[in-house]
Amino acid sequence: MIQRIQTIYLIIVALLMIALFIWFPEFSTLDGEVILRKMELLVIIPIFASILLTIISIFKYKNRQTQFVLNRLNSLVIFVLLGVFVYVPLSVPGETQVSEKGIGLFFPIVSIVFLVLANKAIKKDERLVKSVDRLR
């Protein structure tokens, strides 16, 4: 249901992950050697897993508990992606071009924030449904 706020948050997460894939910054050393590209499995699998989990979560609006669990799993996938973004440049000997990574690295962090907001809205809906069931 598009009128629920958590659906809007989840659509924003999906759009951010798609934007991250499109505008993925390449990590390179000062010599120009590319460390991490867009088409590497360490990058492509978490991005597409996050997009897929978000889309599945959007269509599971009738089952709020499943939607909540999928959002938590999606947060873990995004944290793995952030771990890759931190580990790979730090594991390479020599210096990397830190200032040229771009704004694309903030997309996963913003996505996690929107997933937390979506989970908060799902909990609020769940409490509302339980309170209505108590009144019957």
> How does pLDDT run along the chain (136 residues), one tens digit per residue?
667 899 999 999 999 999 988 887 666 666 767 667 677 788 889 999 999 999 999 999 889 899 999 999 999 999 999 888 878 777 777 665 554 556 667 899 999 999 999 999 999 988 888 888 776 6
For the chain, domain boundaries = 5-131
Q: What is the pTM of this model?
A: 0.84
Give CA–CA dist 72/66, Å, rounded.
10
Please report, for residues 78, 84, 102, 136, the alpha-carbon distance to residue 87 in angstroms, rounded to integers and kept in the order given: 14, 5, 17, 54
